[in-house]
Structure 1
Amino acid sequence: MSPVLTQLENLRVLQPPDLEWITQTGTYQEVSIGTVLIQEGQSSDSIYFILEGTVAILISQHNYDSDQEIARCGKGEVIGEMSFIDDRLPSATVKTVEYCQILALSKRKLQIKIERDPDFAARLYQEFAAILSSRLRNLSKLLAQSKIVPGQALRKVLFLFAILNDNDIDWMVTRGRKENAPAGTVLIQQDQPVEALYFLLQGNLAVIFSMIIDGKSVEKELARRASGEIVGEMSFVESGNASASIKCAENSLILAVSQELLREKFQSDRGFATRFYRAISLVLIDRLREGLVQRGFGQKAYSQDQELLDDIEYEDEIPLDVLEVTLLAGTRFKWMINRLQGN
């Protein structure tokens, strides 16, 4: 059993000693077809590594009696990590669709390991962030192709600032560069490498997705990003190209933090790495939950030729004093803006 996890190509960040610990700590199980591993809305004590076989991911929908299958996961995939990271009940049911071999890892034992081993913690949350980012990319493409109306913007910075400490934020302000970007500035180009993470302090960004329809390249604005958003984090955690373009919809104040500087910082400060990747994982989970559960997957479609209506408030402007997951996060964000503006 010991070398099994090291053979799973989907796990790209965890090191052999990490995988050895998971293998020795977890419980090997052989599971028959139709077994429910995770039930939507019910607590689960474990996360699962799929060694062989396939499972279906199912979600309930409003006004429908049966669950809808939204994805399948196979060898090398991890399931149940979302509830572990954000400590909420599962938002989907996971059921085997063929004979499976899995490794069940106790969440309690995993939490103890994280608290005792900062290097393991940093790698684990980086792994989780990359997995979640890949899932969100797939969902974003599906929503774009299915013409699903986008939801309201998350203020990602509040997740981040609620977990990072003051020294972490001070480092980003000190080492980042302030940019006054005029309307029309392209910060990120779809399918191209991303140089930095961008914190939107003031202004508005447009998320634009390009796709081929009937042999022609078509651009569609999927969403707007308002003050408190971060862009470029998915390309950072996956070390990949951008899945969409980001353009300034109006004059904007931005803090850009180089990906290269971030990676150097993570190597020298494992606590910062753990806090950062955990926060990004929470952001990605919230977007996945919002897209699949809270908004009812597949029910907010609009016709292929219909444009988003100007009078619909897709990205509402929320005042800073209520734009907070915690008071501390909102205070830190306001401090960053004041410092960069020289107040």
Structure 2
Amino acid sequence: MSKVLAILGELSDRDIDWMLVNGTRNQISAGTVLICEGKTIDALYIVLDGSLSVSVAALGNREIGKISSGEVLGEMSFVDGRLPSASVRATEECLILSIPREKLTEKLEQDVLFSLRFYRAITKFLSTRLRGTVNRFSQDPDYLLFQDSTTEEPNQPALENSNLAKSRYDWLMQRLSDT
């Protein structure tokens, strides 16, 4: 959960409202492949509920990690324009907020302040993920690359805007349940 809170803490209420209006809430069944390694993805995803498995073809499609509520998916491909380096499959029924790449790109080009907040949020998110991965591998080289977001990351700094981010997440979930 802390991952999505890190992003929501950087965005404004108006930014989140835009994501809700332009995104689509999708219920996906267990076994559904959300992201396929090496294939273009057309959205940025926020996992609202459920669990997913991350695998890599080079390792014989072995599971290398788990994803759960609060994770953001597709952000690396969105930022660097490269194809996904792993596949992500639902291990149970999941609720996902999909924000179309085309709409998000257009918004980023038209709204400089949104762009600033969005990229700052994604940068902090990726930085936290990288620091957590480096820390875990320094302690245990066999550790999963992506860990369930319910697990606390060692030495993770406290969120500066954690109360605001949590209230925004609750607001986002309430808005989605009303639609």
TM-score range, shorter chain: 0.7 to 0.9
Could you list the runs of 5+ residues in structure 1 that have no partner in the other structure? 1-153, 213-217, 303-307, 309-313, 319-323
By how many angstroms is 1:181 displaced? 0.6
Q: Is 1:230 equivalent to 2:65 in the alignment? A: no
User: What SS does the corresponding residue of 2:40 show, helix, strand or coil?
Assistant: coil
Q: Is 1:300 equivalent to 2:140 in the alignment? A: yes
What is residue 186 of structure 1 aligned with on the other side?
A: 33
Contact 1:203 1:251 in 2 (8 A): yes
Q: How far apart are the structure 2 equivalents of 1:301 and 1:167?
A: 42
Contact 1:207 1:225 in 2 (8 A): yes
Q: How far apart are the structure 2 equivalents of 1:315 and 1:200?
A: 12
Q: How far apart are the structure 1 equivalents of 2:91 and 2:102?
A: 27
User: What SS does the corresponding residue of 1:255 show, helix, strand or coil?
Assistant: strand
Q: Is 1:273 equivalent to 2:106 in the alignment? A: no
Change (3 A) 1:225 1:155: farther
Contact 2:67 2:149 in 1 (8 A): no
Q: Which amino acid aligns with 2:7?
A: L
Q: Is 1:338 equivalent to 2:174 in the alignment? A: yes
Q: How far apart are the structure 2 equivalents of 1:317 and 1:300?
A: 19
Q: How far apart are the structure 1 equivalents of 2:84 and 2:136?
A: 25
Superimposed CA distance per residue, residues 248-277 of structure 1 (whole angstroms, 9 cap, x where no aligned partner): 111011110001100100111010001101
Choose between structure 1 and 2 for higher RCO, CA contacts under 8 A separated by at least 6 residues.
2
Contact 1:155 1:227 in 2 (8 A): no
Q: Which amino acid aligns with 2:77?
A: S
Q: How far apart are the structure 1 equivalents of 2:87 and 2:2?
A: 19
Q: How far apart are the structure 2 equivalents of 1:286 and 1:316?
A: 12
Residue among 87, 98, 102 paired with 1:245: 87
Q: How far apart are the structure 2 equivalents of 1:316 and 1:176?
A: 22
Q: How far apart are the structure 1 equivalents of 2:119 and 2:10?
A: 10
Runs of 4+ in structure 1 over 3 Å off: none
Q: Which amino acid aligns with 2:12?
A: N
User: What SS does the corresponding residue of 1:173 show, helix, strand or coil?
Assistant: helix
For the pair shown, which has the larger CA radius of gyration, 1 or 2?
1
Could you list the runs of 5+ residues in structure 2 that have no partner in the other structure? 152-157
Superimposed CA distance per residue, residues 205-238 of structure 1 (whole angstroms, 9 cap, x where no aligned partner): 11111106xxxxx111111111111100000001
Residue among 159, 164, 168 paired with 1:328: 164
Q: Which amino acid aligns with 1:208?
A: S
What is residue 171 of structure 1 aligned with on the other side?
A: 18
Q: Is 1:197 equivalent to 2:37 in the alignment? A: no
How does the TM-score come out when normalised to structure 1?
Answer: 0.47
Bigger proportion of residues as helix: 2
By how many angstroms is 1:341 displaced? 1.2
By how many angstroms is 1:155 displaced? 3.3
What is residue 155 of structure 2 aligned with on the other side?
A: none
Give the alignment's Cα RMSD to 1 decimal: 2.1
What is residue 255 of structure 1 aligned with on the other side?
A: 97
